Amino acid sequence: MTGQRGRSADRVARRRAARGPALPAGHGRPLPGGPALPAALALGLPLAGAAAGELSGSGTGGPVFALAAVLGTGLAVALSGRNGWWWVLATSPLVVLGATAAVELTAHRDRYQGKGLATGAAKWVVHGFPVMAGAAAAAVTVIAVRLVRARRRQHG
């Protein structure tokens, strides 16, 4: 019996050593809300920014929408774990396009009937591209900062 406990403890110690050094308290722990908070930020802020831009007259191509999309994406990556980073990064252009489409279709339903929908969709992609690129750049920047900070914590 005693020998088995010793071997089991050795296995546990080897697994812990293979994982690398433990993070300081408070790091790497999941958020109380789980993945719901980053998802709400990644989806909610761009949608709110698109609606605010439409109401202010600047539309979904304006600075309000761009700022909200970049901020929402950056905060979502900052609050996500490693697996969540790639989801936020990969879906940020789709979220921007979806927010644009939702607000445009709600605000100007009569414009997007028949062929107008295809024309509008092409316009949303072209005009939304700078916002999509900004959101993706924010995600990449936050990921890079988090990786550098984690590496510095490990090495000293």
The tens digit of pLDDT for each residue in 51-102 reads 999 998 887 878 999 999 999 999 999 999 888 898 999 999 999 999 999 9
User: Average pLDDT of the chain?
Assistant: 84
* CB neighbourhood size of 75 (10 A): 19
**Spatial CA neighbour of 139 closest among 82, 64, 62, 63:** 82
Which ranges of 20-107 would DSSP assign to H, the alpha helix? 36-56, 63-79, 82-107
For position 91, what pLDDT does the model report? Answer: 94
The label of the residue with tokens 């879906």 reads 91
Q: How far apart, in whole angstroms, are the C-alpha atoms of residue 27 and residue 81? A: 10
pLDDT grade, residue 25 (50/70/90)?
A: very low
> What is the share, in percent, of the chain residues with pLDDT greater than 70?
78
For position 16, what pLDDT does the model report? Answer: 59
